[in-house]
Amino acid sequence: MTILKKIREFNWQAIRENKLYWRFASLKTSVIFLGILVFFYIIGTIFPQGGEIDDYIRAGGRFSSFVIFFNLLELFTTPIFLLSALLLFINLAICTFERFLLLLSQKTLKTEELQFIPSYILPLDINPQLEDAFEGVREIFKKELRFREQTNGSDKEQVGSVRIIEKGWSYKWLTWIYHVAIAFCFVGFLLTYLFAFEDGITLYPNEHTKIMPTAVSRWNGSWGKGPQELDFKLILDEFITEHNQFPALDYPKDKLSRLAVAMGWKEVKYLLDNESYFPKDWKSRLRVIKGNHAVLEKTIEVNDPLYFQGITFYQAAYEQNLKIQVDDNPILLETEVGKELIVPGVDGMLKFGTLKTGTLFKKDGTTEKIKPFVETTLVRKDSSGKSETKKLGKLVQDESLVVDDKRIILKEFKEASVLSYRYDPGVPILWISGILAMLAMSLRIFGAWHRIAYRIDEKDRVPRLLLNIKTKGLMANEEKFIKRLKYHLNKMTEPIDLDTPV
């Protein structure tokens, strides 16, 4: 109650009389700060954000001293960028507040203060009194053309006076909503900057995995708080891999054969080899364990993450580990795909490609289970230290390849799912406010808004309708509106005999 009392007693009018306040309420100020931020965004697209300066230099990046001095690889966390964003937020907040006050002050229209200058004068060929003409026109605007009345006062006071009617989304309110949405976008940015963090986790099948982030948010880091274990665990029930079969075109080498294929005289042939197995999808069937119970189950894939307690888990990659048996030795050698393995008795090192397993989606529309296999390469170094590679072929599970009189057998393999996860409380606000801003702007630009001031009077014994029309939006068509209005007025009126005394 004390805080509310202080807010009520605060002298807001004194602030609004300050020159600096009205500087921030200016559209010119918005344009200046937007221009500054656009400049930052352009620089941010040139220099890789979040990268290491050593990686930037190794990749051939130029002006390294300049990049280090201005911290251009972390541009969006620099004090000058954050200050510019904060000042733009203050500018938008003040503009929104002032526009809201303006809209509230214009909620009740006073027609006697309006300077009514008609842009159209339409004669009403009608015999009855002006009161009847007024009622007929009013019904047309209300029921046929679907306008809303904005003026106040009793019906009897409206004959001969100005009436204000409106149709469509209010242009001013849409502008205000757009400003509010942009301001909330900045709130979302601020929440993301302060509280967001991301990390990764590797899950092996049927293991209860604790989630212990190694990263902390800027807010917790500024207070010296370290990472904390989350209050739930994940279990990987199954890791699913899927491949597509993409046969390679067996394109003839001689010119006449290629011409025959091009002319359709010769049938096109395809080659199916191990390289035609292209990854289609990776999926992880997950369970969320809280306490001793599973509270959520979901199979995630690359574009379909898991959401739980504000944290989003994405399918990022996978790991594959192989167990290799040499001859009849019961001790298995363990290695990771893509890495070199030293095998006793083999001159050189063995290197295994990506394990092909899971489901194969064939070109003819059928599917089949892939018998696990890896492509095997022998890596040797010559006397000068230069590496030489030799393809040994396909090593299928429980089958063998002979290398230097040694039988190499793929006995077992294990696949692990690599997930990245992110906590970002600003995302919901950014989604909602971003959509709201785009919707308000779209309605403001492409919609149709009509505001009409009209009055009915009499000249030469003939009633007439005087109109002042304002429109906004690309869909607003003033000529079309006038045609519709004349059509309904003609339906309402009767031919008039000017010789008949009134």
Distance CA 179, CA 27 (A): 12
Inside any domain, residue 451 = yes
Inside any domain, residue 215 = yes
Q: What is the DSSP letter of 330?
A: S
Distance CA 178, CA 227 (A): 38
State whether 124 and 144 are in the same domain. Answer: yes
Q: Give residue 129's pLDDT.
A: 65
Q: pLDDT for 204-234, tens place per residue?
A: 998 888 998 888 888 888 888 888 889 999 9
Secondary element (H or E) of residue 37: helix 27-46
Q: What is the mean pLDDT of the chain?
A: 82
Q: What is the DSSP string of 206-230?
A: T--EE---S---HHHHHTT------
Q: How far is CA 81 from CA 35, 62, 89, 95, 218, in A?
A: 12, 22, 12, 21, 16
Q: pLDDT for 21-39, tens place per residue?
A: 888 888 788 888 888 888 8
Secondary element (H or E) of residue 280: strand 277-290
Q: Give residue 496's pLDDT.
A: 44
State whether 286 and 305 are in the same domain. Answer: yes
The percentage of residues in the chain with a pLDDT greater than 90, rounded to a whole number, is 23
**How large is the average pLDDT for residues 429-451?**
89
The percentage of residues in the chain with a pLDDT greater than 70, rounded to a whole number, is 85
State whether 117 and 59 are in the same domain. Answer: no
Instruction: Report whether pLDDT(494) > 60.
Output: no
- Annotate 34-71 with b (16+ C-beta within 10 A) or e (fewer): eebeeebeeebeebeeeeeeeebeeeebeeeeebeeee
The better pLDDT of the pair 425, 72 is held by: 425
User: Could you tell me how many helices (H) and strands (E) the chain has, helices first?
Assistant: 13, 22
Q: Give residue 237's pLDDT.
A: 94
Q: pLDDT for 348-390, tens place per residue?
A: 899 999 899 999 888 778 888 999 999 999 998 877 778 888 8
Bridge partners of 470, per DSSP, are: 451
- Helix, strand, coil content of the chain in percent (nearest 5): 35, 35, 30
Q: Give residue 155's pLDDT.
A: 46
Least confident of 47-51, 121-125, 404-408: 47-51
Last residue of a domain, one of 318, 345, 370: 318
State whether 201 and 258 are in the same domain. Answer: yes
Distance CA 295, CA 297 (A): 7
Q: pLDDT for 140-164, tens place per residue?
A: 999 989 998 876 544 444 556 888 8
Inside any domain, residue 501 = no
Inside any domain, residue 269 = yes
Residues 6+ apart with CB under 8 A from 144: 488
Residues 6+ apart with CB under 8 A from 7: none
Inside any domain, residue 4 = no
Q: Which structural domain range is residue 394 located in? A: 319-418
Last residue of a domain, one of 318, 352, 384: 318
**How large is the average pLDDT for residues 275-294?**
86
State whether 310 and 355 are in the same domain. Answer: no
Q: pLDDT for 244-269, tens place per residue?
A: 887 666 667 777 777 777 777 777 66
Distance CA 131, CA 110 (A): 21
State whether 364 and 456 are in the same domain. Answer: no
Q: Give residue 99's pLDDT.
A: 74
State whether 23 and 128 are in the same domain. Answer: no
Instruction: Report whether pLDDT(70) > 90.
Output: no
Q: Give residue 366's pLDDT.
A: 87
Inside any domain, residue 389 = yes
Q: How far is CA 304 from the centre of its chain?
A: 14
Distance CA 300, CA 307 (A): 10
Distance CA 2, CA 434 (A): 36
Q: Give residue 127's pLDDT.
A: 53
State whether 54 and 116 are in the same domain. Answer: no
Q: What is the rounded radius of gyration, in angstroms, for the C-alpha atoms of the chain?
A: 37
Instruction: Report whether pLDDT(497) > 60.
Output: no
Of 352, 358, 353, the residue nearest 408 (C-alpha): 352
Q: 66 falls in which pLDDT band (50, 70, 90)? A: confident
State whether 97 and 205 are in the same domain. Answer: no
Inside any domain, residue 380 = yes
142: CATH: 3.30.310.80
Of 189, 183, 157, 140, the residue nearest 41 (C-alpha): 189
Least confident of 56-65, 183-192, 404-413, 462-471: 56-65
Inside any domain, residue 218 = yes
Last residue of a domain, one of 74, 101, 128: 101
Dig out the tokens for 245 from the structure: 């079969």
Query: 3-state DSSP call for residue 361?
Result: strand
∠ CA 22-23-29, nearest 5°, is 130
Contact 234, 289 (CB under 8 A): yes
Secondary element (H or E) of residue 367: strand 367-381
Q: 14 falls in which pLDDT band (50, 70, 90)? A: low
Instruction: Report whether pLDDT(427) > 50.
Output: yes
Stated pTM of the model? 0.67
The better pLDDT of the pair 200, 175 is held by: 200
Q: Give residue 156's pLDDT.
A: 46
Q: Give residue 251's pLDDT.
A: 67
Q: How many CB atoms lie within 10 A of CB 377?
A: 17
Contact 144, 136 (CB under 8 A): no
State whether 304 and 210 are in the same domain. Answer: yes
Dig out the tokens for 88 from the structure: 């733009």
Q: 280 falls in which pLDDT band (50, 70, 90)? A: confident
Number of structural domains in the chain: 5
State whether 51 and 63 are in the same domain. Answer: yes
Of 343, 332, 407, the residue nearest 380 (C-alpha): 343
Q: What is the DSSP letter of 444?
A: H
State whether 143 and 95 are in the same domain. Answer: no
Dig out the tokens for 104 from the structure: 């509230």
How many CA within 13 A on the CB side of residue 236?
A: 24
Least confident of 3-7, 83-87, 179-183, 301-305: 3-7
